[in-house]
Amino acid sequence: MKGLTLTVTQLNEYVRRTFASDPMLHGICLTGELSNLKRHASGHWYFTLKDDEAAINCAMFRQAAFGLRFRPENGQRVRVFGSVGLYAKTGSYQFYADAMEPDGLGDLYLRFEALKRKLTLEGLFDPSIKKPLPVLPKGIGIVTSKTGAVVHDIARVAWRRYPGMPLYLFPVKVQGEGAAQEIARGLRVLDKLPEIDVLIVGRGGGSMEDLWAFNEEIVARTIAACKTPVVSAVGHETDFTIADMVADLRAPTPSAAAELAVPEKDALTDAIAALKDDLTRALEQQIARKRLKLTVLQQRLAAASPAQRSERLRASLAALEVRLNAAVSNALQQKQNRVERAKLRIRASGPMETMKRGYAVVMKKDSLVRSASGVNAGDALRILLADGTIEAVAQSVKSDQE
């Protein structure tokens, strides 16, 4: 049976016009729980609105999103106002939202907030208990799905930054029933391996339901109990889970987790070389200071040694001897000068000087004749002159009175 022949474009356009002309599909208010919320760089928002039995894709364009007075979050119950339309390019119908307002909180969101408050009160989010990452880990443990892109992204970044860095994968389910238990078990197993210094746990992005395994209490408490530092890399940059809050460090993406956990080998080598140069300079400066101090101590020790002290005493004694000799010589010279002056005075006042002026000294035997009365005629006399002696005999004696 032949009917009307249409192209896909004509059919989609007909349905779109039908939706657009149906008053029942305009001015609708839908209630449900937000999921898969994505904020596009253009300013448009795309999300899924669901209830217990069904879901519909929704779009809110930039002008409408700009006017919102609250920040929608995955898991939140909302009231959405708008109309139903067809996106002709793909042939899928969706709800175009013109406005949105809160309509209570979804079950997952309530459970998330309850666990968050509980763990906050217990101090599991306290920054003071966060463990620092090692500068150069011996190996990296990874807890994620073996089939997703996460493990490949981590390996690619890690080996680009540090070729040959050992990576240890514990493959687990990252969503669905039993995923939280597998994740917790993987963390416990890798935490016991001595060759692992950092653990990365995570998965790619998704809705709140997709990421829910990382909001389970068993995963949070296992992360908190790990002795090895844990980096959480769950979803995309805008996704936050309980695992992110408990982990020692949160990475916005799995690739960023590898960037944070693995150092660049070249940069590390340069840093080590710079530290080596700094250490060498510091040692050289310290050796120079110690050598100078040793020289000063050697000089002080030499100055305080018995030999040096004896030499100083010997030099001091020699100086004292010189001074003493000079003093004695000076004293002797002064005495000598005094003697010479005395001799001059004696000589000037003695008989010789008088005799030189024409006088004589008369001796009778060994006695000085001082008076004429001491000489008799016929006495032998010795007459001392300045230039000789005359032997004489007194012919007669006459006193001044006579």
Which of 152, 179, 178 has its CA nearest to residue 167? 152
Note the pLDDT of residue 106.
65
> What pLDDT is stored for residue 126 in this prediction?
94
Give the span between the Cα atoms of 252 and 95, in whole angstroms.
Answer: 30
359-364 long-range contacts, Cβ below 8 Å, gap at least 24? 360/384, 360/385, 360/390
Strand (E) or helix (H) holding 150: helix 150-161
> At a CB cut-off of 8 Å and minimum separation 6, what does 55 contact?
32, 35, 48, 49
What pLDDT is recorded for position 119? 94
Phi, psi of 114 (to 5 degrees): -65, -45
Q: Report the SS3 class of residue 314.
A: helix
DSSP string, 208-243: TTTTGGGGSHHHHHHHHH-SS-EEEEESSTT---HH
Q: In a structure prediction context, what are the per-residue pLDDT tens digits for the chain, which is 402 residues long?
A: 566 788 888 888 888 888 888 888 888 889 999 999 998 999 999 999 998 889 999 999 999 998 887 788 888 889 899 999 998 888 899 999 999 988 765 677 778 888 999 999 999 999 999 999 999 999 999 999 998 889 999 999 999 999 999 999 999 999 989 999 999 999 999 999 999 999 999 998 877 778 899 999 999 999 999 999 999 999 777 678 999 999 999 998 999 999 999 999 998 889 889 999 999 999 999 999 999 998 888 888 777 777 777 777 788 888 888 888 888 888 888 888 888 888 777 777 667 777 777 788 888 888 888 888 778 888 888 888 878 888 888 888 887 765
Q: Quickly list DSSP for 111-123.
A: HHHHHHHHHHHHT
6: amino acid identity, one letter: L
Torsion of Cα atoms, 310 then 312 then 316 then 321, to 10°: 50
Q: Does this model's pTM top 0.75?
A: no
CA distance 240 to 248: 14
